């Protein structure tokens, strides 16, 4: 198990959110959409220019920009 | 019993569909005071109960960050609807319940509508609604808003809730650290009745911990002393949590809310038969539609298709519209004697009303097209794919729609373009988009460009149009960047966005959506447009030429007629236009028309607009514009294509048709004041200067009058600045 940033995850890679180190509006929006510690996510895909990223979380698809995803640390296998 | 029922829920949960199913065509769209968030209201009658239904904006939460959230929360608190229907997407239950929990914490009478149970079932999700209802303590009614299934049962449940006493607010436990603080604050709040007339005391304590700006401000205004105490507790627990757990109170609150939901769902509320990572139809479609290579190509085709649809097919009804108004003009022209009244009715009123209604087919088609893309879920994909590009300029991926419709593909229109910014939910990005879409080359600027290109660059028409399109895109995006760094600066709104599953839009939903928007345009913009159209007519008509001047032209005409042979005069007078005139009669007619045109030119110069145009000549000379160009550009405020006809009048060429301005092109090419450099300067000015007033009114309606005025001042300054640079640099380089 190791912790990496969403930016460094591969498409279709899965993981569990370890921490979200951001408060304020961005933090609130991220959490409102169900990205909280312990949530399982999967990288669904990336936009043609690699940014934003689409995540699968709690059965729906969520997009966020790479610089927004940088605040989220994910625990992955391997 | 008459009572108010609010309809709340996440975006894409089917709120609008349910609202339409309940209220049918008996709905009314307005705005919440002070903000451009739609407020839809309607009626539903059942068992003698007359229910007033209000559609709240779709939100994921009830924080105070977005306008939608503040509006929804204030409505629930201030207007206290007797029942709130919380529509929940059954196929996406966990996240949807996050809002439900917040409704219940607020202690408002709630009834949950479990929507899209069919979609959930097809995904292998079975929900035990009775169990969920018991756990939440409120009725949970399975429905399918699209087909209307469950509507009756839902409204029966609403009736039951309306008759029941007000519920106690839900208490979610937020863990040892926070609970101590919450309970301490709760005691203080309840003891002093601090804001408790509006909110439950525990809810206020939680909002303090969440650093909710609206509540903090209200608290400070109500009782600064208690506010100080509460803020002190908040700071203490916040510091403690950051030190020991390296997180924030608001994060712990969100964690516990989701924890509460998942522990509830684990009590056999949800049964999932399939693997949760199974690819649904929507995901399979996305494999193609947002594919790295195929995605952009398909997007380009879809956007071009939308553009074709809007601007090609709206031509037919637009032509009918135009035909009706032309016929009306003709009727009035023949019925009324020449004079001011006729001029006012034909040029002021009929052209004004025609101007308002002329946009209707376009707006109708544009909203239909965009509603289709939006309701199907494709628009979110467009934003997703293009966001990286627009992000650089401080905009949002969704901005692209507004640019394209406004003339990103040459020939659009900024009026529907400005209205298309409604799909943008980020306030700053929206204002920047709103203000820069008029830079695009709309269909009305094209005849002006065509005229100047024909006069000065006759051998490179296509290349020139292409260059102008590139300049407008570059200019608009750079201007947006400039605005985002100055007047609408600040961090970008988080992009965090849902990619909703693809859905087939319902025809009824599309129709209601399209009709609503179009009617709003006619009602709100229409009256102002008519008024300004009359004002512009007056500015180009008054003051009229003094009698001595009119006499002078009359004498000239008299002179021409008296030198002509009497039978020629007679032929012209009796001519009905059916038979070709003899050569001498045609010559006489041309001579008379020339005098007429000279008189019109003189009258225009004498009018208020003409005086302004002449007055600013000493300034506009910097950009190479003479007084005639100035008047024409003033006229362009009415509509950009008016520049061509006004130039024609100013150059005493009589009536010039914007679509066939060969005579004017020849005249300009031969005019000593004009050369290719002047043409460049004028074209750049026209591209960037104040939008036509219809667009300005739409900008004002979509934001505020402040931005409407700003767009005129800023755009004109920018345009003039660019035109002067081009002209002066050109002159310095010897062009």
3-state secondary structure B287-352: HHHCCCCHHHHHHHHHHHHHHHHHHHHCHHHHHHHHHHHHHHHHHHHHHCCCCHHHHHHHHHHHHH
Q: Is residue B153 part of a domain?
A: yes
Please check whether residues B204 and B118 belong to one and the same domain: no
Chain A residues with CB-CB distance to B under 8 A?
A: 14, 19-21, 23, 25-34, 36-39, 42, 44-52, 54, 56, 58-65, 68
| Cβ–Cβ under 8 Å, residues B505 and B372 | yes
Alpha-carbon distance of A62 to A39, in angstroms, equals: 13
Q: Is residue B138 part of a domain?
A: yes
Bridge partner residues of B5 (DSSP): B53, B83
Residue at a domain's end among B163, B187, B209: B163
Q: At what angle do helices B627-635 and B608-615 cross, to 10 degrees?
A: 130
Residue at a domain's end among B221, B249, B272: B272
Q: Is residue B140 part of a domain?
A: yes
| CB neighbour class for B575 (10 Å; exposed up to 12, middle 13-18, buried from 19) | middle
Alpha-carbon distance of B238 to B185, in angstroms, equals: 14
Please check whether residues B217 and B188 belong to one and the same domain: yes
In 3D space, the residue among B137, B95, B87 whose CA is nearest the CA of residue B116 turns out to be B87
At residue B277 the predicted structure's pLDDT band, cuts being 50, 70 and 90, is low
Q: Given CB atoms, is B583 within the 8 Å cutoff of chain A?
A: no
Please check whether residues B208 and B62 belong to one and the same domain: no
Q: Is residue B343 part of a domain?
A: no
Q: What are phi and psi of B369, to 5 degrees?
A: -60, -45
**b/e map of B55-94 (b: 16 or more CB within 10 Å)?**
bbbbbbbbbbbbbbbbbbbebbeeeebbbbbbbbbbbbbb
Total of domains in chain B: 2
Q: Do A23 and B251 touch (CB under 8 A)?
A: yes
Q: What is the pLDDT of residue B71?
A: 92
Q: What is the pLDDT of residue B658?
A: 66
Q: Which domain range does residue A68 map to?
A: 2-76
- Which residues in A lie closer than 8 A to residue B292 (C-beta atoms)? 46, 48
At residue B8 the predicted structure's pLDDT band, cuts being 50, 70 and 90, is very high
Q: Given CB atoms, is B497 within the 8 Å cutoff of chain A?
A: yes
- Which residues in A lie closer than 8 A to residue B496 (C-beta atoms)? 26, 29-30, 33, 62-64, 68
In 3D space, the residue among B493, B477, B475, B494 whose CA is nearest the CA of residue B429 turns out to be B493
Structure-token pair, residue B276: 């949760």
B37-46, B154-163, B458-467, B646-655: segment of lowest average pLDDT: B646-655
- Which residues in A lie closer than 8 A to residue B398 (C-beta atoms)? none
- Which residues in A lie closer than 8 A to residue B493 (C-beta atoms)? 25
- Which residues in B lie closer than 8 A to residue A34 (C-beta atoms)? 94-95, 98, 258
- This model of the complex carries an ipTM of 0.96
Helix, coil or strand: residue B481: helix
- pLDDT, tens digit (0-9, with 9 covering 90-100), for B344-394: 888 778 877 777 787 788 888 888 988 898 889 999 999 999 999 999 999
Q: Is residue B389 part of a domain?
A: no
Residue B625 has pLDDT above 90, yes or no: yes
Sheet of strand B83-89, all strands in order from the earlier edge strand to the far edge: B27-31, B38-46, B49-55, B2-9, B83-89, B110-115, B140-142
Structure-token pair, residue B732: 């310095």
The shortest CB-CB distance from A23 to any of B250, B286, B292 is to B250
| Cβ–Cβ under 8 Å, residues A42 and A9 | no
Q: Do B496 and A61 touch (CB under 8 A)?
A: no
Helix, coil or strand: residue B352: helix
Q: What is the pLDDT of residue A59?
A: 86
Residue B32 has pLDDT above 80, yes or no: no
- Which residues in A lie closer than 8 A to residue B391 (C-beta atoms)? 51, 65
Q: Given CB atoms, is B276 within the 8 Å cutoff of chain A?
A: yes
CATH code where residue A47 lies = 2.30.30.90
Bridge partner residues of A64 (DSSP): A53
Size of interface A-B (CB pairs under 8 A): 128
The shortest CB-CB distance from A33 to any of B389, B496, B501 is to B496
Place of tokens 């991926």: B397
| CB neighbour class for B650 (10 Å; exposed up to 12, middle 13-18, buried from 19) | buried
The dihedral built from the CA positions of residue B521, B527, B530 and B533, taken in this order, carries a sign that is negative
Chain A contact probe: residue of B102, B175, B251, B263 with most A CBs at under 10 A? B251
Please check whether residues B11 and B148 belong to one and the same domain: yes
Q: Is residue B381 part of a domain?
A: no
Q: What is the pLDDT of residue B313?
A: 86
Please check whether residues B88 and B20 belong to one and the same domain: yes
Residues recorded for chain B: 735
Bridge partner residues of A76 (DSSP): A2
Please check whether residues B40 and B119 belong to one and the same domain: yes
In 3D space, the residue among B102, B595, B380 whose CA is nearest the CA of residue A52 turns out to be B380
CATH code where residue B73 lies = 3.40.50.300
Residue at a domain's end among B242, B272, B302: B272
Average pLDDT (B425-453) is 91
Residue B606 has pLDDT above 70, yes or no: yes
Q: Do B276 and A39 touch (CB under 8 A)?
A: no
Residue B702 CB partners (closer than 8 Å, separation 6+)? B36, B418, B419, B421, B422, B434
- Which residues in B lie closer than 8 A to residue A62 (C-beta atoms)? 496-499
Longest dimension (CA), chain B: 110
Chain A contact probe: residue of B116, B254, B280, B300 with most A CBs at under 10 A? B254
Share of chain B above pLDDT 70, in %: 97
The shortest CB-CB distance from A25 to any of B247, B292, B494 is to B494
Q: Do A33 and B95 touch (CB under 8 A)?
A: yes
Q: How far is B430 from chain A (nearest CA, A)?
A: 18
- pLDDT, tens digit (0-9, with 9 covering 90-100), for B148-183: 999 999 999 999 999 999 999 999 999 998 999 999
Q: Do B94 and A58 touch (CB under 8 A)?
A: yes
Q: Given CB atoms, is B247 within the 8 Å cutoff of chain A?
A: yes
In 3D space, the residue among B414, B644, B365, B428 whose CA is nearest the CA of residue B525 turns out to be B414
CATH code where residue B193 lies = 1.10.287.1770
Alpha-carbon distance of B646 to A37, in angstroms, equals: 66
Structure-token pair, residue B411: 């020939």
Helix, coil or strand: residue B10: coil
Please check whether residues B103 and B7 belong to one and the same domain: yes
Q: Is residue B30 part of a domain?
A: yes
Helix, coil or strand: residue B89: strand
Q: What angle (nearest 5°) sits at the alpha carbon of residue B154, between those of residues B149 and B158?
A: 165
Ramachandran area for residue B268 (φ above 0: left; ψ -120 to 50: alpha; else beta): left
Residue B337 has pLDDT above 90, yes or no: no
Please check whether residues B57 and B97 belong to one and the same domain: yes
Please check whether residues B139 and B8 belong to one and the same domain: yes
Average pLDDT (B674-679) is 94
Please check whether residues B104 and B223 belong to one and the same domain: no
DSSP B205-229: HHHHHTT-HHHHHHHHHH-HHHHHH
Q: Do B95 and A34 touch (CB under 8 A)?
A: yes
- pLDDT, tens digit (0-9, with 9 covering 90-100), for B556-583: 989 988 888 888 888 888 877 677 888 8
Total of domains in chain A: 1
Q: What is the pLDDT of residue A33?
A: 93
Q: Which domain range does residue B16 map to?
A: 2-163
């Amino acid at each position: 198990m190791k912790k990496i940033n969403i930016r460094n995850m591969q498409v279709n890679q899965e993981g569990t959110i370890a921490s979200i180190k951001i408060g304020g509006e961005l933090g609130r929006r991220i959490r409102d959409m169900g990205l909280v510690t312990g949530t399982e996510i999967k990288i669904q895909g990336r936009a043609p220019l690699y940014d934003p990223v689409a995540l699968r979380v709690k059965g729906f698809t969520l997009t966020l920009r790479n610089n927004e995803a940088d605040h989220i640390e994910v625990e992955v296998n391997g | 019993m008459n009572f108010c029922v609010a309809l709340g829920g996440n975006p894409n949960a089917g709120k609008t569909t349910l609202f339409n199913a309940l209220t049918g065509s008996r709905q009314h769209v307005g705005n919440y005071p002070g903000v451009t968030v739609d407020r839809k209201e309607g009626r539903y009658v059942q068992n003698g109960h007359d229910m007033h239904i209000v559609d709240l904006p779709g939100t994921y939460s009830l924080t105070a960050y977005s306008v939608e959230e503040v509006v929804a929360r204030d409505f629930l608190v201030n207007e206290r609807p007797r029942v709130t229907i919380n529509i929940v997407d059954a196929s996406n239950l966990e996240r949807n319940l996050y809002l439900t929990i917040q409704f219940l914490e607020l202690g408002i009478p709630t009834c949950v509508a479990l929507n899209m149970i069919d979609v959930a079932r097809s995904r292998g999700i079975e929900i035990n609604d009775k169990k969920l209802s018991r756990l939440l303590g409120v009725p949970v009614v399975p429905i399918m808003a699209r087909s209307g299934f469950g509507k009756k049962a839902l409204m029966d449940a609403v009736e039951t809730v309306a008759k029941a006493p007000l519920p106690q607010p839900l208490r979610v436990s937020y863990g040892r650290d926070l609970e101590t603080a919450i309970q301490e604050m709760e005691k203080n709040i309840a003891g002093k009745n601090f804001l408790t007339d509006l909110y439950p005391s525990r809810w206020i304590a939680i909002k303090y911990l969440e650093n909710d700006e609206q509540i903090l401000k209200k608290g400070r205004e109500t009782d600064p002393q208690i506010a100080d105490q509460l803020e002190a507790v908040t700071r203490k627990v916040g510091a403690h949590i950051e030190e020991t757990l390296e997180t924030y109170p608001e994060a712990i609150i969100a964690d516990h809310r989701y924890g509460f939901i998942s522990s509830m769902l684990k009590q056999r509320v949800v049964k999932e038969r399939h693997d949760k990572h199974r690819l649904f139809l929507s995901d399979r479609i996305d494999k193609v539609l947002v594919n790295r290579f195929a995605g952009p190509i398909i997007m380009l085709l879809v956007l071009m298709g939308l553009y074709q649809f809007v601007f090609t097919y709206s031509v037919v009804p637009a032509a009918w519209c135009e035909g009706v108004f032309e016929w009306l003009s003709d009727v009035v022209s023949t019925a009324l004697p020449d004079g001011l009244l006729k001029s006012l009715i034909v040029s002021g009123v009929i052209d004004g009303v025609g101007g308002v209604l002329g946009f209707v087919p376009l707006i109708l088609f544009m909203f239909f097209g965009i509603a289709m893309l939006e309701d199907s879920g494709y628009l979110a994909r467009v934003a997703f794919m293009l966001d990286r590009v627009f992000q650089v300029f401080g905009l949002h991926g969704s901005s692209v729609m507004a640019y394209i419709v406004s003339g990103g593909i040459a020939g659009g229109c900024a009026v529907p373009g400005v209205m298309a910014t409604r799909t943008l939910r980020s306030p700053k990005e929206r204002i920047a988009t709103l203000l820069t879409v008029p830079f695009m080359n709309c269909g009305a600027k094209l005849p002006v460009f065509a005229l100047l290109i024909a006069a000065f660059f006759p051998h490179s028409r296509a290349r020139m149009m292409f260059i102008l399109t590139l300049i407008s895109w570059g200019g608009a995006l750079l201007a947006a960047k400039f605005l985002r760094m100055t007047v609408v600066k600040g961090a970008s709104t988080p992009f965090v966005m849902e990619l909703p599953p693809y859905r087939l839009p319902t025809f009824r939903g599309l129709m209601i959506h399209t009709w609503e928007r179009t009617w709003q345009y006619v009602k709100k913009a229409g009256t102002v447009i008519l008024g300004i159209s009359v004002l512009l007519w007056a500015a180009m008509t008054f003051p009229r030429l003094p009698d001595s001047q009119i006499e002078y032209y009359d004498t000239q005409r008299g002179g021409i007629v008296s030198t002509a042979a009497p039978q020629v005069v007679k032929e012209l007078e009796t001519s009905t236009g059916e038979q070709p005139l003899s050569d001498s009669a045609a010559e006489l007619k041309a001579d008379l028309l020339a005098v007429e045109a000279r008189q019109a030119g003189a009258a225009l110069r004498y009018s208020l607009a003409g005086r302004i145009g002449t007055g600013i000549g000493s300034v506009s000379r910097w950009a190479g514009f003479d007084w005639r160009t100035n008047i024409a550009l003033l006229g362009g405020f009415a509509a950009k294509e008016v520049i061509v006809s006004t130039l024609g009048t100013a150059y005493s060429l009589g009536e010039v048709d914007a679509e066939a301005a060969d005579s004017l092109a020849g005249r300009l090419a031969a005019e000593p004041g004009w050369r290719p450099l002047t043409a460049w300067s004028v074209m750049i000015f026209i591209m960037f200067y104040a939008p036509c007033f219809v667009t300005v009114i739409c900008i004002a309606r979509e934001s505020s009058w402040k931005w409407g005025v700003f767009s005129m001042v800023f755009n004109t300054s920018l345009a003039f600045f660019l035109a002067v640079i081009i002209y002066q640099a050109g002159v310095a380089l010897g062009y």
